[in-house]
């Protein structure tokens, strides 16, 4: 009964009409658009005359859709579980739940079940699309069942870890960042096991390796071990959360200073001209655990550097292996910057401090630039070290000086874009869950979309110029989705142009990269993401009152 009360409360708070139903329709429609795009690409470059041709097409399509769904399910599970708990803590409603009749088990399991329900509904909506792909042949029902089973088990394990970390840590950013690093570490352990003991052992340890093993016709033998590993993670994470949830969230009362302590005079610190920037840099605005996040990211960075060093010492460096070592670290950096930026706004709003900033004499530019520069300084290791790694690629001979320069400048543009995106989403959406979902979802959409597009273009071959027409539906759909996310409170023409051009120019950059035109890739990225950054930054300052709902003194 009590567990059901938590579950019903979460469902009542969810925007079902505009959230769950639309999300399922959009997700299923996106998968159908990818299927149609793959079909148009392959029929435009080669004939499908026999049943064997269609079966090979279906097998390739299956290996494109399966990792895509796996990645989206894991990201959605981590996001929904961590945010569901962190929002309760930042709004101080978790304390009310702890003093109610709810037990620790009901609270932890209820939060986990409500978060996983949203992910489960998305997976259910994808079943008809995968069944449609199976009609081409080359895919069995057992393979589809194994795919969904592995995806569900991995998503539940990641959601359990995210929920436990969110109950442990104070802010949403800490929960999201630590969960992301734990997930990357889990996958890295699987890769290490693959190197030392082979792919079979890795399929039991790593959910990603287990997914690709499950896609094989005879991949069912690895599932019991993988399910046992995921079950162990689920039991351990939830067990720790249940045992410590009350201690973690009542310790703040014990640490609260007494009257004698507060009477002791404190050292007076001089506040800068921009108090927002001073607070972001000189105080613990992002919590004490930001140090733990930095340490975890440094471990991830050291792993990437180790992979680069191994390849640099080889007679002929493997560029694919270098990319496999560097790209996860770069993607984690972009997601971390976006999460830090958006939560710097949502945390202020949930704690009631944002209203105080709105009624102060701060100018919009001071608040926006204070938050932006504060985020970049707080994440200085995450911002600077990848840029230094780009220089190291040229110094070790892995890349040319020209390509390293393009890579460093392009990465700097993308990092600033994600920071502006996070601040803009936080200002545009009054609901914290929606703001965090828009910021991180947009970054994930761009990253996963780029990877999926590259996989389609390489898998089915043909001229990249001729593939523009099949990708039009995906490009248009991506533009509409970006506009809906970014223009929620301020539908400006600049946002409209940025939403329309960003997917098309990203496709152009992908085609140029696959053709080896590095200069063209840099110029397109600079134009596309630079314009999108300005399109968000200018309204964030000029239309600040409209975005935040602030009433100026002259009105």
Q: Helix, strand, or coil here: 315?
A: coil
**Angle, alpha carbons 449-453-455 (nearest 5°):** 120
- What pLDDT shows up at residue 300? 86
Q: Distances in Å between the alpha carbon of 302 and those of 360, 386, 456?
A: 43, 11, 31
Which is higher by pLDDT, 253 or 69?
Answer: 69
- What pLDDT shows up at residue 260? 45
Which is higher by pLDDT, 274 or 335?
Answer: 335
CA distance linking residue 229 with residue 232, whole number of Å: 5
- What pLDDT shows up at residue 88? 86
pLDDT beyond 50 at 552: no
Question: Range with the lowest mean pLDDT among 7-21, 87-101, 183-197, 295-309?
Answer: 7-21
- Asked if residue 30 lies in contact with residue 68, where contact means CB atoms within 8 angstroms, the answer is no
- What pLDDT shows up at residue 145? 92
Provide the token pair at 140.
Answer: 């069995």
| Averaged confidence pLDDT in the chain | 83
**Angle, alpha carbons 191-339-490 (nearest 5°):** 135
- What pLDDT shows up at residue 361? 75
> Residue 389: which of 281, 309, 477 has the closest Cα?
309
Band of the pLDDT at 553, cuts 50, 70, 90?
very low
Burial code (b: 16+ CB inside 10 Å, e: under 16) for 404-434 equals bbbbbebbbbbbbbbbbbbbbbbbbbbebbb
Which is higher by pLDDT, 548 or 280?
Answer: 280
Q: What is the mean pLDDT of residues 305-322?
A: 81
The domains of the chain are located at 15-250, 275-548
Band of the pLDDT at 152, cuts 50, 70, 90?
very high
pLDDT beyond 70 at 1: no
> Residue 514: which of 465, 554, 470, 458 has the closest Cα?
458
Share of the chain above pLDDT 90, in %: 25
* DSSP single-letter state for residue 221: G
pLDDT beyond 90 at 164: yes
CA distance linking residue 301 with residue 185, whole number of Å: 11
Neighbours of 538 (CB within 10 A): 13
Provide the token pair at 55.
Answer: 């079966």
User: How many residues would you count in the chain?
Assistant: 555
The residues, ordered by sequence, that sit 6+ positions from 139 with a Cβ below 8 Å of its Cβ are 58, 59, 62, 130, 133
Burial code (b: 16+ CB inside 10 Å, e: under 16) for 483-499 equals bebbbbbbebebbbebb
The residues, ordered by sequence, that sit 6+ positions from 224 with a Cβ below 8 Å of its Cβ are none
- What pLDDT shows up at residue 261? 46
Question: Range with the lowest mean pLDDT among 320-324, 496-500, 508-512?
Answer: 320-324
CA distance linking residue 485 with residue 118, whole number of Å: 19
The per-residue pLDDT for range 327-375, each reduced to its tens digit, is 888 888 998 999 999 988 888 887 777 777 777 777 888 888 989 999 9
* DSSP single-letter state for residue 220: G
The per-residue pLDDT for range 422-478, each reduced to its tens digit, is 999 988 888 888 888 889 889 988 888 888 888 888 777 656 666 777 788 788 888
CA distance linking residue 217 with residue 459, whole number of Å: 20
Is the pTM above the cut of 0.95? no
In DSSP notation, 77-138 reads HHHHHHHHHHHHHHTT-HHHHHTSS--HHHHHHHHHHHHHHHHHHHHHHHHHHHHHHHTTSS
Neighbours of 188 (CB within 10 A): 17
- What pLDDT shows up at residue 90? 78
Q: What is the mean pLDDT of residues 25-37?
A: 87
CA distance linking residue 5 with residue 102, whole number of Å: 9
Band of the pLDDT at 19, cuts 50, 70, 90?
low
CA distance linking residue 273 with residue 542, whole number of Å: 21
CA distance linking residue 351 with residue 328, whole number of Å: 33
CA distance linking residue 215 with residue 194, whole number of Å: 17
- Asked if residue 372 lies in contact with residue 419, where contact means CB atoms within 8 angstroms, the answer is yes
């Amino acid at each position: 009964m009590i567990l059901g009360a938590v579950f019903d409360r979460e469902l009542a708070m969810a925007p079902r009409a505009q959230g769950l139903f639309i999300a399922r329709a959009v997700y299923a429609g996106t998968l159908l658009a990818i299927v149609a795009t793959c079909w148009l690409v392959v029929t435009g470059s080669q004939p499908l005359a026999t049943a064997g041709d269609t079966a090979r097409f279906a097998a390739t399509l299956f290996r494109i859709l399966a990792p895509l769904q796996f990645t989206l399910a894991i990201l959605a599970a981590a996001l929904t579980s961590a945010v569901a708990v962190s929002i309760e803590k930042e709004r101080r409603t978790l304390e009310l739940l702890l003093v109610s009749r709810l037990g620790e088990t009901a609270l932890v399991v209820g939060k986990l079940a409500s978060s996983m329900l949203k992910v489960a509904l998305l997976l259910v909506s994808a079943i008809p699309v995968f069944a449609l792909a199976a009609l081409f042949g080359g895919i069995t029902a057992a393979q589809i069942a194994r795919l969904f089973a592995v995806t569900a088990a991995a998503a539940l394990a990641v959601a359990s870890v995210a929920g436990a970390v969110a109950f442990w840590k104070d802010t949403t950013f800490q929960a999201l960042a630590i969960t992301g690093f734990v997930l990357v570490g889990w996958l890295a352990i699987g890769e290490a096991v693959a190197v030392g003991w082979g792919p079979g052992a890795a399929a039991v340890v790593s959910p990603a390796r287990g997914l690709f093993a499950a896609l094989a016709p005879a991949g069912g033998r690895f599932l019991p071990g993988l399910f046992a590993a995921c079950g162990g993670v689920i039991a351990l994470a939830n067990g720790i959360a249940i045992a410590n949830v009350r201690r973690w969230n009542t310790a703040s009362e014990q640490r609260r200073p007494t009257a004698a302590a507060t009477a002791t005079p404190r050292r007076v610190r001089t506040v800068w001209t921009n108090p927002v920037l001073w607070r972001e840099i000189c105080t613990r605005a992002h919590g004490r655990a930001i140090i733990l996040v930095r340490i975890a990211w440094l471990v991830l960075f050291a792993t990437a550097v180790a992979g680069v060093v191994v390849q640099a010492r080889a007679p002929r460096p493997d560029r694919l292996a270098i990319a496999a070592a560097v790209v996860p670290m770069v993607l984690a950096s972009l997601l971390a910057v976006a999460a830090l930026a958006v939560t710097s706004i949502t945390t202020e709003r949930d704690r009631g401090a944002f209203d105080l900033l709105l009624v102060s004499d701060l100018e919009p530019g001071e608040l926006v630039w204070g938050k932006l520069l504060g985020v970049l300084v707080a994440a200085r290791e995450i911002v600077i070290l990848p840029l230094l790694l780009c220089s190291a690629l040229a110094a070790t001979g892995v890349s040319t000086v020209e390509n390293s320069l393009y890579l460093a400048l392009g990465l700097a543009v993308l990092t600033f874009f994600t920071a502006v995106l996070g601040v803009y989403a936080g200002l545009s959406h009054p609901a914290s869950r929606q703001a965090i979902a828009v910021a991180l979802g947009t970054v994930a959409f761009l990253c996963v979309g780029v990877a999926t597009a590259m996989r389609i273009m390489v898998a089915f071959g043909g001229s990249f110029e001729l593939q523009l027409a099949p990708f039009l539906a995906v490009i248009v759909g991506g533009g509409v989705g970006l506009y809906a996310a970014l223009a929620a409170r301020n539908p400006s023409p600049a946002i409209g142009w940025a939403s329309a051009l960003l997917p098309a120019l990203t496709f152009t950059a992908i085609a140029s990269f696959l053709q080896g035109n590095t200069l063209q890739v840099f110029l397109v990225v600079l134009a596309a993401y630079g314009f999108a950054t300005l399109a968000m930054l200018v309204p964030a300052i000029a239309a600040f009152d409209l975005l935040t709902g602030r009433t100026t003194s002259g009105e």
